Amino acid sequence: MGITQILFWLLSVMALFSALMVVTNKNPVYSVLWLILAFFAISGHFLMLNAQFLFIVNIIVYAGAIMVLFLFVIMLINLNKEMEPRKNIWIKFAGAVAGGCLLLVLVAALRNSELKGQVAQVKEGNIGLIKNLGMELFSTYVVPFEISSILFISAMVGAVVIGKKE
Amino acid sequence: MNVLIVSAILGVVMLFSGVLLKQTRIVRAIAIIGMAVLLVINILEISGTSFFNIHTYGMMHFDRFALLFNSIVLFSTLVYFILSAKDMEKVGIHYGEYFALIFFIVCGIVLVASFKSLLILFLGVEIISIPLYILTGSDKKNLKSNEASLKYFLMGAFSTGLMLMGIALIYGATGTFNASEMTFPAARPSILPVAGMLLLLFSMAFKVSAAPFHFWTPDVYDGAPTVFTSFMATIVKAAVFIGFIRLFDEAFGSFNAEWQTWIAVITVITLFIGNITAVFQQSVKRMLAYSSIAQAGFMLLAVYAMNTDAKEGILLYTAAYCLATIGIFAVLAKMSDYTFEGFNGMARQQPMIALLTTIFFLSLAGIPLTAGFLAKFYMLKAALGAGGSLWVVIFAVLMAAVSVWYYFRVIQAMYFKDGQATVQVSPFFKWTLAVLAAVVILLGIFPNLLLYWYYF
């Protein structure tokens, strides 16, 4: 077992464990902290695939900016035990069954998929380097890239419409 | 491509005119003229004059189907602006921004109607959804509007997540985003693309509010300001249907045995829940929300059949459903009481409005000589022609019969009950509504006026 494999298993266990802790933890602040750990683990996976740009963006945007936003929201709405809505046991049961079905389908899909024999390009893949990514983004994918500006401007307009005092 | 770029520019123009112009009358005029310009340049593109030649690397394809659909959407939106734009003033102070958001939604509709790459589909669906979340919650002082917006946002974000996951699985299976380049091994593809296809199916079914993914629809349509419900329930819903049809025709057409049964099940459930629940509603606005679910069930027959008749039919259905429903909502937005009793005695107070509303309801119910009849006829013909199950067709006809019950309740209230239904309308509004009703009847007699453009 080489160092790459050890790192892979370590990061995978870390990602899965912290993701589980996110959903099982009662305290939302702890959930968010575990989520940060999950993002770091996934960023580590990106790094192992030689996708350095995705690695750094994932840390800056997700683990940094979005998580701070999450923490702010949680602190602003001031969650505590009394405000937590009581859920029906049957709804919990139905949710568990539905989620379990999805898990079953996805696991079945990935277990029998044709990707099973293929190995990820560790270390030698260079599509994730910032130069190649930029070339691809501004040549083949330039139309969707420009179109996404419409998405962002409508989101900004929306933020003003919703947030501005009347 | 004409409409996409000009509509984005017009959205920005509306933003500035909302800030710079104090008179709402002028802002409204700019919006209406802008929409008319969009319609004209789209028709120019149909006849071969494209102002922009942008190499999209095959990610978008402006074929006749997409362009004709764009024309229907732009015409409906133009009519919607003329009839209902004045009512937007009542919602809030951001008058120009509402128009801007609607122009951005039109961009999204163009993307969804003409995508080839799943990336464009995703962007289009998002560009449609995000302004809609805002328009739903634009009545900020109204608690129901806030609730509707939050509900719509959470559920919509969740279904977008499903869609992304589906696209990721399909990309993993085929190695391409391009819908028509996807090759699936053999007749029975492996489980990976099927799982991706199912996730896409569920997220699209959510966006068109097909049962059992419809739970957000009544609350959101009821809570949103009536002017924006009118837009969401008609034009946006039809647009997502076009994306639905294109996706399943081009990307998954090769293994339709895998999904046709699913679509049939969703169609039957949607028709059943939409129609039966609509019968029990007390508010006309909420009844129309359930009726939009029921109509979505009929439109799903096009996805089920997926042949030439289905494509013609969905265009006709879009026109018939959008125009009639926009007309009804335009009248509803002028009323103070949204219950069935609110319509009591309208025939005596406003005979012309009552007559025109009756025509729209007849079209929705699918009575002959209206566009709604032929639209339903095309759908059923397509479903039969595809060698589909006869039971689905029979069930759809039965449910159309049920729909007559709740549509006629409004007509009954208007004509046979005494009351003081008051609608304050201008003569201009009346005559626009009359023209709209004339179009609905004209399409019911000569559907080829529209469908001719699909081929010529």
Residues paired with residue B115 on neighbouring β-strands, in sequence order: B60
Q: For chain A, how many residues are written? A: 166
Same-domain status, A19 and A69: yes
Residue B218: is the preceding peptide bond cis (ω within 30°)? no
Same-domain status, A151 and A166: yes
Same-domain status, A61 and A134: no
* Kind plus residue range of the DSSP H or E element containing B333: helix B308-333
Same-domain status, A113 and A149: no
Same-domain status, A104 and A144: no
Q: Are B372 and B444 in contact (CB under 8 A)?
A: yes
Q: pTM higher than 0.90 for the full model?
A: yes
Residue in B closest to A143 by C-alpha: B56
Residue type, B240: V
Q: Are B381 and B304 in contact (CB under 8 A)?
A: no
Domain of A95, CATH number, reads: 1.20.120.1200
Inform me whether the C-beta atom of residue A91 falls under 8 Å from chain B C-beta atoms: no
Going by C-beta distance under 8 Å and a sequence separation of 6 or more, which residues neighbour residue B167? B118, B119, B122, B177, B196, B200
Residue B86 DSSP SS3: helix
Q: Are B178 and B155 in contact (CB under 8 A)?
A: no
Distance, in angstroms, between A4 CA and closest chain B CA? 23
Residue A115 pLDDT level (bands cut at 50, 70, 90): low
- pLDDT value of position A123: 64
DSSP assignment, residue A66? I
Number of domains in chain A: 2
Same-domain status, A39 and A49: yes
- Provide the token pair at A80: 């505590």
Same-domain status, A9 and A30: yes
User: Which of A144, A154, A164 is facing B59, going by the closest CB pair?
Assistant: A144
What are the CA-CA distances from residue B175 to residues A47, B113, B118, B182 (Å)?
22, 23, 12, 8
ipTM for this prediction? 0.89
Residues paired with residue B283 on neighbouring β-strands, in sequence order: B339
Q: Do B104 and A115 touch (CB under 8 A)?
A: no
Same-domain status, A112 and A60: yes
- pLDDT value of position B161: 94
Q: Do A150 and B138 touch (CB under 8 A)?
A: no
Residue B283 DSSP SS3: strand
- Provide the token pair at B219: 């609350």
Cα separation of B331 and B439, whole Å? Answer: 17
Asked whether the predicted pLDDT for residue A127 surpasses 80, the reply is: no
- pLDDT value of position B51: 87
Q: In which residue are the tokens 């046979």 written?
A: B416
Chain B neighbors of A108, CB-CB under 8 A: 191, 195
Inform me whether the C-beta atom of residue B5 falls under 8 Å from chain A C-beta atoms: no
Among B94, B95, B114, B188, the strongest candidate for a mutation testing the A interface, having the largest count of A CBs within 10 A, is: B94
Give per-residue pLDDT as tens, B160-175: 999 999 999 899 888 8
Inform me whether the C-beta atom of residue B456 falls under 8 Å from chain A C-beta atoms: no
- pLDDT value of position A81: 60
Give per-residue pLDDT as tens, A14-66: 999 999 999 888 888 888 889 999 999 999 988 888 888 889 999 999 888 88
Please report the number of interchain residue pairs, chain A to chain B, with beta-carbon separation below 8 angstroms: 99
Low-confidence ranges of chain B (pLDDT < 50): none
Give per-residue pLDDT as tens, A54-80: 899 999 998 888 888 888 888 887 766
What secondary structure does DSSP assign to B369-430, as a single string?
Answer: TSHHHHHHHHHHHHHHHTT--HHHHHHHHHHHHHHHHHHHHHHHHHHHS---------HHHH
Same-domain status, A155 and A143: yes
Cα separation of B299 and B237, whole Å? Answer: 10
Write down the mean pLDDT value for chain A. 85
Distance, CA of B226 to chain centre: 15
Cα separation of B316 and B63, whole Å? Answer: 17
List all residues of chain A from 113 to 132 with a beta carbon under 8 Å from chain B.
113-115
Give per-residue pLDDT as tens, B204-215: 999 999 988 999
Same-domain status, A69 and A141: no
Same-domain status, A19 and A92: yes
Closest to B322 measured CA to CA, from B208, B436, B207 = B436
Residue A51 DSSP SS3: coil
Chain A neighbors of B18, CB-CB under 8 A: none
Q: What is chain A's percent helix, strand, coil content, to nearest 5?
A: 75, 0, 25
DSSP assignment, residue A86? P
Range of the domain at A162: 129-166
Looking at per-residue pLDDT, the higher value among A103 and A110 belongs to A103
User: Which of A112, A164, A166 is facing B191, going by the closest CB pair?
Assistant: A112
Cα separation of B33 and B31, whole Å? Answer: 6
- pLDDT value of position B186: 63
User: Which of B8, B131, B190 is facing A114, going by the closest CB pair?
Assistant: B190
Distance, in angstroms, between A2 CA and closest chain B CA? 27
Largest interatomic CA distance in chain A: 64
List all residues of chain B from 67 to 106 with a beta carbon under 8 Å from chain A.
92-94, 97-98, 100-101, 104-105
Q: Do B54 and A143 touch (CB under 8 A)?
A: yes
Q: Do A158 and B94 touch (CB under 8 A)?
A: no
Cα separation of B317 and B319, whole Å? Answer: 5
Q: Are B135 and B99 in contact (CB under 8 A)?
A: no
- Provide the token pair at A116: 């099973």
* Kind plus residue range of the DSSP H or E element containing A33: helix A28-48
Same-domain status, A104 and A164: no
Asked whether the predicted pLDDT for residue A132 surpasses 70, the reply is: yes
Q: In which residue are the tokens 């003329």 written?
A: B82
User: Which of A109, A114, A141 is facing B169, going by the closest CB pair?
Assistant: A109
Asked whether the predicted pLDDT for residue A116 surpasses 90, the reply is: no
Give per-residue pLDDT as tens, A82-105: 566 677 888 889 989 999 998 887
Q: Do A154 and B127 touch (CB under 8 A)?
A: yes
Q: In which residue are the tokens 């508010």 written?
A: B283
Inform me whether the C-beta atom of residue B366 falls under 8 Å from chain A C-beta atoms: no
Q: Are A161 and B18 in contact (CB under 8 A)?
A: no
What is the 3 state secondary structure string of B52-64? CCCCCCCCECCCH
Cα separation of B175 and B166, whole Å? Answer: 13
Chain A neighbors of B59, CB-CB under 8 A: 143-144
Looking at per-residue pLDDT, the higher value among A2 and A114 belongs to A2
What is the 3 state secondary structure string of A124-148? CCCCCCHHHHHHHHCCCCHHHHHHH
Chain A neighbors of B140, CB-CB under 8 A: 162, 166
Residue B178 DSSP SS3: strand
